[in-house]
Amino acid sequence: MNDHPFVNVHDQLRAARQSRAPQRDQARPNRMLLLSHPRLSAARSLAAEMSEQLGAWQIAVDHIASGDEQPIDFSQYDLVVALGGDGWMLRAGRITAEAGVPVLGVNLGRLGFLAEVQPDEWRSVFERVRDGDYWIEQRLMLHTDLWRGDQHVMTFEVLNEVVIGRGALVRPVRLETHIDGGLLTTYMADGLIISTPTGSTAYALAVNGPILPPDLKNILLIPVAPHLSMDRAIVLARGSSVTVVAHTEHQAVISGDGVIEEPVLDGDRIVVEASPHVARFVRVQDPSYFYRTLMARMGQNPAAQWAANPNQ
């Protein structure tokens, strides 16, 4: 018997690498939903082409171009195709998570950080999906509860981040922050970002937070413009819970993924922890796609490029 301590370390590393290897023997989808952005005409025309091809392969398909007003029973589908930008991908990831349906993103936006497919390559990717040659990437989501005394004000789930911060007035708020029930610190800042690994390349990246691989299950804390208080990002242990008590004499807000917003009053308590649901994304590339995409996007500023060439 070999009791050398490095043997166990090597075995653990080998097991970790094997656990991250993608499982590409997926089931052929029998029914798919094309979920296209309602304000993108390109999405509708592309969805029509996709529907025709899927029908030729005898895969049942529905097409919905809808906002939040139309409830959808995702449990009847094997796979959802989201046609839009990164914001549409975030929405698709959130609304399909409870049903456990994977999402294949087709990029019709300017950046395309989350999408797997560019519009000119969808046929080849669909062929691989048809044949089961793809894998499912699971991404952490956050569950958030807002409490006002004993009153439960609201609950929501996010894929990118929860932000607690000041409102219209340029005055900092005091955010008393607890980790797993123990006091961490009180931030005096414009705000506090509580992010998933997915969100580490969004708002968190803009305030110089660390970049986390998307398969991690850790929560990231980053203060925004802290004043005489803790100014470093913190990566929490897997399974941690964050409780923030807001202290403010003026307007403050809580925001989720940039689309959910609610006023926060003095003394309000926000509890953030890992959601029981995960977002599932269809991938045909190898797992190192994340770093290739990251390097391809770094240094780009799509908004500035569009401003310089608005007709392109």
Cα 221 to chain center, whole Å? Answer: 15
- In single-letter form, the type of residue at position 179 comes to I
**Which one from 86, 190, 257, 268 is the annotated catalytic residue?**
86
86 belongs to the catalytic site? yes
List residues with catalytic annotation: 86
